[in-house]
Amino acid sequence: MRGGSLIGAVLAAFLVATAGGSAATQQARATVFTGYGFDACTAPSTNALQAWSASPYRAVGIYLGGANRACKDGNLSASWVSTAVSMGWNLLPLYVGMQAPCVGQTSLQHISTVQATAASQGRAAADDAAGLAANFGLPTGSPIYFDMEGYSANNSACTKSVQSFVTAWVTELRANSFMPGVYGSAASTIRDVSTLGTSTPDAIWIANWNGVEGVFGDPYVSDGLWPNHQRVHQYKGGHKETWGGVAINIDSNYVDGAVVGNAGPPPPPPPEPPAGSVGSGDGKATATWTSGSFPSTSVVTLTPTVQTPSASSYAVQLTVTDPATSTPITRFGAPVSVHLAVPANGLAPSFSTDGTTWKPLPKLTPGVDAGYTLLGDGTVEIDTLVPGYFGLLADTVPPSRPDGVAGRFVNGALRLTWNGATDNAGPVVRYDVLLDGVPSAHVDGGVRRVIVRAFHPGAQTVYRVRAVDVAGNLGVPSRAVVIVPTTRPADVPRVLPRWAWGLYDFQHHKGPRPATAPRKPPAWYWHWAAWRSAPYRVKG
């Protein structure tokens, strides 16, 4: 008997057994559903299901239990099942038991590599699943899909263990009057359970995230297998969707098979609004968007505006309107990219809600409604989740203050180093080195150090670093590096003998050793020589 040949008999027997039962029991019955479904780690609340009545989905996967179940019962209960079905939802029960011996996730509980033990584990899983299904109010005849995650497709011993386990699962679950199904990877699980003869599962749930919203045409699963409303296809993996204001992380499925419920087919999914682009008409700006940017086909306009603070500025207004209601769309589902093809040249990317009051745009980072990226050709790309005015305005914002400034003496000269500053309108073009507040040196914006040798002989000297942007805005100077004279040793004579100067030069390779210098210089000489080599120090 090939996979699923018992489905009609099981459904018919169940309908007879429940005739005359309670209204709730009659409503929750095994049936066939065709349409869209989703599964989530925990059963959504009934309020969330009510909100999701606005979605194209009408089936929901629920996890009953199992040794490797990732989430707890949560909302799932017998009353939840009854309520969900009465709301028009069809249920796809799943059981996550032991996994293949060669599955990649080593932290899971695994099926035994001994086939007899694997079969025993399969029977135990079926008995547990049947008991849980009854506790949750699922009627006999309901499908229960064993969740067998993908595993190595080239391990024959592993395949035999899986087949022994599934054979026992199918046989025992049928004995418990439930319909045995299996969920798994098309290339491993479904392939291996398709050859079990009379023990082939009655229904399959194919995991193949190829985006195909249908159950046939899978390259790993022949269309000749499970042909009679016996398939579910999980075509998209974990992602968030929002319907009725409620967001849920789901996998998306197309269902044409056994479920628990009594709902009709769902409405077709709404057509996805197309991606597109529009120009500003003057060749200086373009807006592009993806298919997920707007809830419906929308009218997007990009209009140059003369409402800019100066003649050198350039700006456009981005508007998005729903053509059916003529109402503006004030927030986008995915960013719209506005490319300003005008080189920034020191102009600052800016944003305005009314075209009059402007504020600088931040650089693009996660979490901002609108941010910019400076491209290699000097133009600007703005990604925005909101409409408004976007432009390049005269830059009045100074660069940031350089931090990490430090100084140390090397061979009598002071080496100043610092971390780079940032600017809202592009790179820093130069750094000014300030001596007591007055520029004494300048270095290119890509440089982070400088050597200076100017010091006050009898007082402290103060050095700071200041960034300058392409518009000429001067940043706030860095913290001070203060240089002070070192104290002349007290034991050094007020008037030095001539031999001391000559000996110092000799020791620094600048002449012969003076004949008058003592062979063993006095201690004060060494104190003086050390002081003369480092007459200044960095304060603090």
146-160, pLDDT tens digit by residue?
999 999 888 999 999
Q: What is the model's pTM?
A: 0.49
Q: Average pLDDT for residues 428-435, to the nearest whole number?
A: 94
Give the pLDDT confidence of 11-39 residue by residue, as tens digits.
Answer: 443 333 333 333 333 456 788 999 999 99
Distances (CA, A) of 455 to 399, 406, 436, 483: 28, 16, 10, 7
CA distance 196 to 4: 12
CA distance 181 to 162: 14
- The reply to whether domains 7-260 and 276-393 share a CATH topology is no
Q: What is the pLDDT of residue 423?
A: 83
Closest CA relative to residue 32, chosen from 44, 55, 14, 50: 14
Angle 447-449-454 from CA coordinates, rounded to 5°: 130
Give the pLDDT confidence of 466-513 residue by residue, as tens digits.
Answer: 999 877 889 999 999 999 998 889 999 999 999 988 898 898 888 899
Reported as a pLDDT band with limits 50, 70 and 90, residue 312 is confident
Q: Domain-by-domain residue ranges, the chain?
A: 7-260, 276-393, 406-485, 498-538
Q: Average pLDDT for residues 81-110, to the nearest whole number?
A: 92
Q: Which residues of 284-295 are buried (b: 16+ CB within 10 A; e: fewer)?
A: bbbbbbbeebbe
Q: What is the pLDDT of residue 27?
A: 53
CA distance 162 to 102: 10
Distances (CA, A) of 217 to 208, 212, 227, 306, 428: 11, 9, 11, 56, 57
Contact 417, 448 (CB under 8 A): yes
Give the pLDDT confidence of 221-259 residue by residue, as tens digits.
Answer: 999 999 999 999 999 988 889 998 899 999 999 999 999
Asked whether residue 5 carries a pLDDT value surpassing 70, the answer given is no
> What's the half-sphere exposure (Cβ side, CA atoms, 13 Å) at 496?
21
- The amino acid that residue 104 corresponds to is G
Written in H, E and C, the secondary structure of 130-173 is HHHHHHCCCCCCCEEEEEECCCCCCCHHHHHHHHHHHHHHHHHH
CA distance 230 to 223: 11
Reported as a pLDDT band with limits 50, 70 and 90, residue 163 is very high
Of the listed ranges 9-13, 317-321, 363-367, 530-534, the least confidently predicted one is 9-13
Paired with 39 in beta bridges are: 61, 251
CB atoms < 10 A from the CB of 437, how many? 11
Q: What is the pLDDT of residue 394?
A: 81
Reported as a pLDDT band with limits 50, 70 and 90, residue 371 is very high
Reported as a pLDDT band with limits 50, 70 and 90, residue 105 is confident
Closest CA relative to residue 394, chosen from 297, 462, 279, 313: 313
Q: Average pLDDT for residues 262-282, to the nearest whole number?
A: 72
Q: Average pLDDT for residues 347-373, to the nearest whole number?
A: 89
Q: Average pLDDT for residues 309-314, to the nearest whole number?
A: 74
Asked whether residue 452 carries a pLDDT value surpassing 70, the answer given is yes
Q: What is the pLDDT of residue 347?
A: 84
Q: Average pLDDT for residues 303-332, to the nearest whole number?
A: 84
Q: What is the pLDDT of residue 395?
A: 78
CA distance 513 to 502: 7
Annotation: CATH topology of 7-260: TIM Barrel (3.20.20)
What integer best gives the mean pLDDT of the chain?
A: 88
Q: What is the pLDDT of residue 33?
A: 92
Arch. (CATH architecture) of 276-393: Sandwich (2.60)
Of the listed ranges 15-24, 100-109, 454-463, the least confidently predicted one is 15-24
Q: Could you tell me which residue, 126 or 540, shows the higher pLDDT?
A: 126
Q: Average pLDDT for residues 197-218, to the nearest whole number?
A: 92
Q: Which residues of 339-371 are buried (b: 16+ CB within 10 A; e: fewer)?
A: bbbbebebbbbbbbeeeeebeebeebeeeeebb
Q: Could you tell me which residue, 459 or 292, shows the higher pLDDT?
A: 459
CA distance 15 to 127: 22
Centroid of chain to Cα 170: 40
- Which CATH number does the domain 406-485 belong to among 3.40.50.720, 2.60.40.10, 3.40.50.150, 3.90.79.10? 2.60.40.10
